[in-house]
Copies of this chain bind each other. A is one copy, B any other.
Amino acid sequence: MPELRKDPIIGRWVIISTERTRRPMDYKPVPEEAPEGPCPFCPGNEAATPPEILAYREPGSAPNGPGWQVRVIANKFPTLKVEGQVDKTGEGLYDKMNGVGAHEVIIESPDHERSLADQETGQIEKVLAAFVARMHDLKKDVRLQYLMVFKNHGFRAGASLQHGHSQLIATPIVPKAIKEEMYGARDHFRYKERCIFCDIVRQELDDRRRLVTENDEFLSIVPFAARFPFETWILPKRHNPSFEDCQPHQVPHLAAILKETLTRMNLSVSHPPYNFVIHTSPCNQPGPEWFHWHIEIMPRITRVAGFERGTGFYINPTPPEEAAQYLRQVAVP
């Protein structure tokens, strides 16, 4: 059973693997290329993965065989396990708990080569619908406190397979970055009686220097205090605490702005590896009126993570206004 451990000073939870633990000799240099052998995410190779939890498929096609457009499976090497209770125990001044949770993989299309940015908008809508469906299902599990959807694109961004996929990790705790946003947004709300994200949306739409693009429902910006060059955030224009409460009519707009933002990034900084993370409200409580879901997209084009790893202090060599200008001015087909 994996273990969750809490840093006693700052309260950050860390997942400690206790099975398949890695010894010093198990750490290999980062691979820069796809592993050899058949791709387990390609149609026809469904038997190489755990059975599907959800799939959008052609009528009449059989589960765990070809004929799907989007396929969700359990991660073969999960960082958290579905079985068991959330036992919290102490060890002197330390706190830990069982690594109960879920770890799923969303295979974004049957096409091995095509990245998310290059999918048709309709296909991206299906991927987003799969995120929403899995989140609604996992929210029924009262042991889970948070549902984290993220994507590692490119080997240098942490992907271990080339075939386009996203991941969902469900945790029995709320991750630190989300807690910090919740607290910050709550303090702003108490003081101003307004959602801070709504304030950001208004100021960015008015100012426009950091705006990348917008449509009826969403906007994409380079945040004022971006940590990484060409970092972008996608926010809904209308207040909504939870991603999974996205309205059906909003999904096509989200697919379109996600595709356009990734395409503009690809064209501006020549297809960088990237991560994106959906920040949404924790489970088990109604979305608080002060939180506002959003997607943070972080291209990995700098070696920054020197001392930043240990200090939370970032140096961004491209001012957000300039990054936004590059992203805006690139011609999108």
Interface residues of A (CB under 8 A from B): 3, 5-18, 20-24, 27, 30, 79, 91-94, 148, 150, 152, 155-159, 167, 171, 175-178, 180-181, 183-185, 188, 196-197, 199-200, 203, 207, 223-230, 268-270, 275-277, 296, 298, 301-307, 309-320, 322, 326
Highest count of chain B CB atoms <10 Å: which of A20, A92, A176, A203 = A92
Task: Beyond A79-B315, A94-B224, list 19 extra A-B contacts (CB 8 Å).
Answer: A7-B223, A8-B225, A9-B185, A9-B196, A10-B177, A10-B180, A12-B227, A15-B313, A15-B316, A21-B318, A22-B229, A22-B318, A27-B269, A92-B207, A150-B310, A150-B311, A175-B312, A177-B310, A275-B307
How far is B177's CA from A200's CA once the two chains are assembled, in angstroms?
A: 25
Q: Report chain B residues within 8 Å CB of A3.
A: 319
Q: Is the CB of A9 within 8 A of B224?
A: no
Residues of B near A315 (CB, < 8 A) are 14-15, 17, 79
Chain B proximity of A183: nearest CB distance (Å): 8
Report the Cα distance A175→B227, complex, angstroms: 13
Contact among B12, B199, B302, B310 for A298, CB-based, below 8 A = B310
Provide the residues of chain B in CB contact with A91, threshold 8 Å. Answer: 224
Which residue of the partner chain, among B12, B24, B199, B277, contacts A310 with CB atoms under 8 Å? B277
Number of this chain's copies in the complex: 2
List 26 contacting pairs A-B, 8 Å CB cutoff, sorted by A: A3-B319, A6-B225, A7-B223, A7-B225, A8-B184, A8-B225, A9-B180, A13-B225, A16-B225, A17-B315, A22-B229, A23-B322, A27-B229, A27-B269, A27-B301, A27-B302, A93-B203, A148-B311, A175-B311, A175-B313, A176-B311, A176-B312, A178-B311, A180-B312, A275-B306, A275-B310
Residues of the B chain whose Cβ atoms lie less than 8 Å from the Cβ of A181:
9-10
A212 → chain B, closest Cβ, in Å?
Answer: 14
Specify which chain B residues have a CB less than 8 angstroms from the CB of A310 in the assembled complex.
Answer: 150, 177, 275-277, 296, 298
Q: Which 6 residue pairs are nearest across A and B when measured between Cβ atoms?
A: A158-B306, A176-B312, A150-B307, A277-B310, A5-B225, A177-B312
User: How far apart are A227's CB and chain B's nearest CB, in angstroms?
Assistant: 6
For A177, the chain B residues whose CB sits under 8 A away are 10, 310-313
Report Cα–Cα, A197/B155, bound state, in Å: 38
Residues of B within 8 Å of A176, CB to CB, are 311-313
Looking across the interface, which residue of chain B has its beta carbon closest to that of A192?
B93
The distance from the CB of A2 to the nearest CB of chain B, in whole angstroms, is: 9
Contact present for A24 and B199 (CB under 8 Å): no
Q: Which residues of B contact A318 (CB under 8 A)?
A: 17, 21-23
Chain B residue, CB-CB nearest to A155: B303
Shortest Cβ distance from A239 into chain B, in angstroms? 15
A166 to chain B, nearest CB (A): 10
- Please determine whether A158 and B196 come into contact, CB atoms closer than 8 angstroms: no
- Which chain B residues border A270 with CB–CB below 8 Å? 24
| Chain B residues in 8 Å Cβ range of A197 | 9
Residues of B within 8 A of A13 (CB): 225, 313
